[in-house]
Copies of this chain bind each other. A is one copy, B any other.
Amino acid sequence: MAAIAPKEGVKDAILDATDRLLARYGYRKMTVEDIAHEAGIGKGTIYLHFTSKEEVVLSHVDRIVERLKERLREIGSSGAPAAERLRLMLIARVMFRFDSIQHYTQSLNDLLAALRPGLLSRRAIYFEAEAQIFAEVLANGRSSGEFVFDDEQVTAHAMLQATNGLLPYSLSTTELGERQEVEQRTADVADLILRGLIGRK
């Protein structure tokens, strides 16, 4: 048989098997032997294509991200206005990950369980209270003619959501990072958001 063609086929078969097993069992419970069995090959064969179990799973994630990037480029090169393309790309990015993350549901639930349940339930209350304060300033800016927007509740929520990814308890911010750095990122996002509110001259 050809040397490269079947090799590549096997590699994909391993990743496909990983995909299914990850969804079913999660990283911890899935063993390398499971993957081999699901892919219909011997355990040793996996180590001809990957250096470790972790490498297999990371390659699997790489493949997902590669597909996302493909989808983003697809949308990005369509004929629609740039604003519409970006809008669709942003939504696609979040929803693509939303759909892929099902695999990690178990681990995510474990993570969330480690936080105090009481804290989680108060988050929503804090969020609302803060949004209220922002909404008032928004309404204030609109009545003075400085801003143009439809609904101050929706706008306030979106503003806070947009900066939530910068909060230190967000896992998006992989490590906390330097204070200075976080502040700069926040300022960039704030500027981006606020430009949209200021009335057209």
Contact = CB atoms under 8 A, between A and B. Distances in A.
A41 interface: no
A171 B195 CA distance: 28
Given A58-B119, A65-B129, A116-B57, A186 B136 contact: no
Nearest to A168: B101
Nearest to A27: B116
Interface in A91-139: 91, 93-95, 97-98, 101, 104-105, 107-108, 110-112, 114-116, 118-120, 122-124, 126, 129-130, 133-134, 136-138
A82 B170 contact: no
Nearest to A141: B82
Nearest to A28: B114
Contacts of A161: 165-166, 172, 185, 188-189
Given A130-B68, A191-B87, A170 B163 contact: no
A172 B198 CA distance: 28
B158 A108 contact: no
22 contacts: A57-B116, A81-B146, A82-B144, A86-B197, A90-B159, A90-B189, A90-B193, A91-B183, A91-B187, A93-B163, A94-B166, A98-B182, A105-B176, A107-B115, A112-B174, A124-B174, A162-B193, A163-B165, A164-B165, A165-B165, A169-B171, A171-B171
Interface of A: 27, 54, 57-58, 61-62, 65, 68-69, 72-73, 76, 81-83, 85-87, 89-91, 93-95, 97-98, 101, 104-105, 107-108, 110-112, 114-116, 118-120, 122-124, 126, 129-130, 133-134, 136-138, 140-141, 144, 146-147, 154-155, 157-176, 179, 182-183, 185-198, 200-201
